Structure 1
Amino acid sequence: MKNYNIYKFFFAIVVFLGIISCEEREELVIDSTGSPIVMDLSKESVFLDGNFPNNPALTVNWEAASYSIPTEVNYIIEASSTENFTEPYVLGTFGQSVKYATFTAVQMNNAAAGIGLPANVAGKMYLKIKSYIGTTQQLQQESNVTSVMVTPYKLVYPDFFLVGEASYVGWTASAAQILHKSENESIIYTYLEKDKNFRFLGQQDWNPINYSIDDATTDAGNRYFKQVSSNITVADHENMKFGGESGIYKVVIDADKTVQSLKITASPILAFDIPQVYLVGNVAGVNWTVESAVAMTKTGAGVFEFTTTLPADAEFKFLGQQSWGALDWGNISSTGNTGFLGPKDDNGNIKFAGDGGSYKITVNIKAGIYTIVKQ
């Protein structure tokens, strides 16, 4: 009985000390006592050279923020085109031991594009530093605002290659479909299959660059698209899923640093396995007489070919009927010879400088491309 009472006594002491300890922890409060201060920029003006993207361009030094008790402090460096930072661009994040950061030409150029500074023109970039503690960025403090004049170079936007079970090429990376690039936009009209996965590559290989949705559930190195249309969802840590009905869709990527969007909309011509396709233009003796448009030879679902001579001023289009009807394909967006197909209301004539020799013309409606190959 005495031993039992002794055990009860010690147990009570332990509980009492635990309660006191918990109360003391609850009273522990961290206060901010001093904000970070931007002490120095290595330059007052920076001329960025696209030929040397990895060269150091600007170093930012700062004095550490302080808090009422020792704690881990993190920093964010932001850039803006306005002094009030209405739309800041994050240059980088850094841990407690870091008190300076050096940015390369390409990092500064991306920041300049991100805040809307035009290429080849000197513009003012405002900089400031935020300090915070914890994973939820608590007790934020802001530094003074400073600025630097930056002359950015014209951005070279990335190439995007479509691959995946939802796509025309399947999961064959070496055959991934490149999109037609015009400045910051990459576009293609191509086949997509409902409820199947896909992604974009930066090359016709799995490495090194992959692009997916910028989401906490995807691999950090693949996060890119900040905005996607409603028919695109996260499939897994690497891929996206297409939710529309199977058919031909217009895929548009806006690679502007402030946008980085992916939009997929139905083509005016959703079908691809057309019974017959005709060639019309100043070729094969047709002379743009649509009723005489020449029938091409079908070699696969949505794939047709025709061999003919092409003059120096050759221009032509593809039709799904011997009339100016709904089934109409030409060079994507406007007259030219990009090799990419566009449907009615989003195309122009295919213009080709032939030499009077024989050429095989192939159109692949499913893939959204055409080729002209000398025989």
Structure 2
Amino acid sequence: MKNIKYITFFIAAMTLGLFTISCEDDSDLFTATPTTPITLAELPVTTIVLDATNPGNPAVTFSWNEANYGQPAAENYLVQLSSDQAFTNPVDATSVSGTTTATLSVNELNSSAGSAGLPPFTLSTLYARVVSSIGAQNGLPVSSNVISFEVQPYFNYAFEDYYLVGNGTSADWNNNSNNPPLFRDAENGNLYNYTGFFTKGAGGEGDGRFKILEIRGQWQPQWGTAYPDGSDPIETSGAIAGNPGTQDSDPGRFGIESDGYYTFTINFSSNTYSIAPYSESGATVYSSMTLQGSGIGSDTPMTQLSFDSHLWYVSSVNLQPGDIQIMTSSGSTWGGSTEFSGIATDGGGSIPVVVQDDYEVWFNDLTGEYIMIPLNL
């Protein structure tokens, strides 16, 4: 029936003298046909050890023959990696068009290997294939053969950590005095909270103030309010500014009006902050906290912050892949489900440790928040 319709249209077009239109419609008859699977070449090396000191260097180049879809159009090629030969959960590493090679940098291969589930610092098998397709909609996809090679990824700690400084905090205006860290939200890496005691000190306008540092021992980068430093009223919410994050001059100071417990929240996505009173009345005051679990060599006591009895820390402890829990002086065991930061609950399972390193660990028994900061990654 389709051929009859084209013939009828052609006769009608000739009758009207519209031969050029029929020729244009005739071009629509060209169709692509599925290509035979392309061949992905074996790599000249079988083992790749990734070096974190040169993340931009080329790590691996894949090459294959050109697909043939029967049309003079550029073909698309998607390089996929997987931890298993069946490509149960493939990772899209890179894509190219109109060329038959693709190179991944050290950082790109490391990221893809991690996304595929390969553990860091261990040689593991990684599988690769190329999926060819055609057109803007990636039509007629066909997978190549599968090759494999050994990869040793490194671990890339992708998070930022922030620390309190100021006369409203335990560190005073000392930028390297066991400054407590903010607790990073496990679901939103740009959202941070700190619930704890702040002091107004002598009660003056310049007392009860604080800022946020990115690196202990360094005054920049620092974050504060959008007001100029020294001309900064005490407010419960507003915009944040940073030197050098948003400007060259130092930002204003956050502040509280009286001694007490507060929840300070800062959002680096919206560049906003808020400070709200927090009631700790009725909260249990523990006499001890201990780290335990398969991720730690032996039970390790945590230190109670003298400035705030609800904050506990270990300055440095070696953790290995496994899990940890926090045991309180009452015998209860607290745990969470997210690595590096999250919220622990009484009987809440185990906190995963995904990579070996020396860690600084903090725990807030008011909120259950914990943060594990690797010291060498």
TM-score, length basis structure 2:
0.46
